[in-house]
A = this chain, B = another copy of it.
Amino acid sequence: MPAPLRIALAGLGTVGTGVIRLIEENSQLIGRRAGRKIEIAAVTARDRSKDRGVDLSRYRWVDDMGELATAEDVDVVVELVGGSDGPAVTLARETLSNGRALVTANKAMIAHHGAELAALAEHHSAALKFEAAVAGGIPVIQGLRDGAAANRIDRVYGILNGTCNFILSTMEREGLDFADVLADAQAKGFAEADPSFDIDGVDAAHKLSILASLSFGSQIDFGGVEIRGIRKILAADIAQAKALGYRIRLIGLAEVDGENGSATIFQRVQPCLVPMMHPLAHVIGATNAVVAEGNFSGRLLFQGAGAGDKPTASAVVADLVDIARKETGPAFSMPSAELEILPRAASAHRIGKTYLRMVVADRVGVLAEITAAMRDAGLSIESLIQTETSEDGSALIAMVTHAGPEQAINDTLNTLSTSDSLLGEPMVMHILGE
């Protein structure tokens, strides 16, 4: 059997300790599949003394993380430090510059610096792998890079944040409002103390920008993702959506429009109404799911645990197995110099159905005012529900429009923005097409 693949772990949080447990527990099996043993040569983290529930005494402890990039006995550095910049990206650059392989679970770093790191990896003939950065244990990076490699993919979308999906499906099941479920999820450890990266959609946007690059052969454009989170969703929105035949999910969606030369890219993370017939409507709890539409494969769905120490470790070690097998090509499926820069498409011309919810003063003429604004914008209504008046004298109007350009929604809201009939901001959620 060839020499073992020697790895160093930088960062020993839940994922890092998960990787240690996985390599120890499945050691023999991994050796059979990888064609050689995978051995942990060195580990590092901020705090050496912390009890992590794994025995670290077998592994060389390194105080200076930077040392890993040049250590003689290390073939692969596994970066699990996190953060888009700072020590993580420094370690990544040094590792690749030294011709060592880098495996990372760091979606923020890849979303911000993926192109630079991929170029560095190619220049130094080093492998750069990041299966764990997107959708936890689901092998979707590989599914797109290899499994769907023969396809032109014009659309990739999915449920990319487990915390949001947990909150939305709990709101749905319990009939609770967002704030109550979030507090409960935090108490139980399903949501971070500062949950804003998750619930405001930034985490999903990191992942989406990576998926889009791989799918379309385009450069990562994280700055081009329109981002809206789930904070403003009411229990009433979920109830109305259900009555209309939909479930609400935070969807990251990226599309390419147009042919070579004039193609544009559209990327958006936002809560959407998903038709009950769509597989994503049945994704419950902290699960992630990614759909890619290939021009030959048709619709491919990858689903599984989107986070957690064990699933994420599974993805990290899958990358290590690929490296052990020497099955490592360009990080984004094609040489980084060939990744196209696609201009961003505006959302205004996008055609689709939209869910619109307004809390309004319950008085004569409100519905006439709203429907007149819609008529003037050329927007027609497919279904509408007005619920009973609350104690505070407000009513809730929820509707789904017929398919039309998003600009018509913008125009409608613009007209209504000066109206004193609307109490608070209207809620707009697009409906995921077939």
Contact = CB atoms under 8 A, between A and B. Distances in A.
Interface stretch (A26-34, A187-195, A356-364): A26-34
A146 to B, nearest CB: 6
A310 B308 CA distance: 36
A129 to B, nearest CB: 11
A415 to B, nearest CB: 40
A299 interface: yes
B25 A295 contact: yes
A424 to B, nearest CB: 35
Contact of A279 (B22, B282, B295): B282
Interface in A116-134: 131
Given A26-B295, A338-B32, A150 B301 contact: no
Given A25-B295, A314-B294, A325-B329, A33 B300 contact: no
Interface string A279-316: 10011100001000011111111111100101101110
Interface stretch (A83-91, A135-143, A344-352): A135-143
Contacts of A137: 294, 296-298, 300
A286 B131 CA distance: 30
Nearest to A328: B327
B150 A146 contact: no
A14 to B, nearest CB: 13
A432 to B, nearest CB: 15
B311 A297 contact: yes
A201 interface: no
Contact of A29 (B152, B300, B322): B152
Interface in A125-171: 131, 137-139, 142-143, 146-152
Contacts of A330: 35
A141 B150 CA distance: 16
Interface in A88-129: none
Contact of A300 (B26, B139, B313): B139
B152 A26 contact: yes
A205 interface: no
Contacts of A338: 32
A271 interface: no
Q: Which of A34, A146, A301, A320 has the largest count of B CB atoms less than 10 A from its CB?
A: A146
Interface of A: 18, 22, 25-26, 29-30, 32-35, 131, 137-139, 142-143, 146-152, 217, 277, 279, 282-284, 289, 294-305, 308, 310-311, 313-315, 317-318, 320-322, 325, 327-330, 333-335, 338
Sorted nearest first, the 9 A-B pairs with minimum C-beta distance are A139-B147, A150-B317, A297-B314, A327-B327, A301-B303, A137-B297, A296-B314, A149-B321, A296-B310
13 contacts: A32-B338, A33-B149, A34-B149, A35-B330, A142-B146, A146-B327, A150-B314, A279-B279, A289-B301, A295-B310, A296-B314, A297-B311, A300-B303
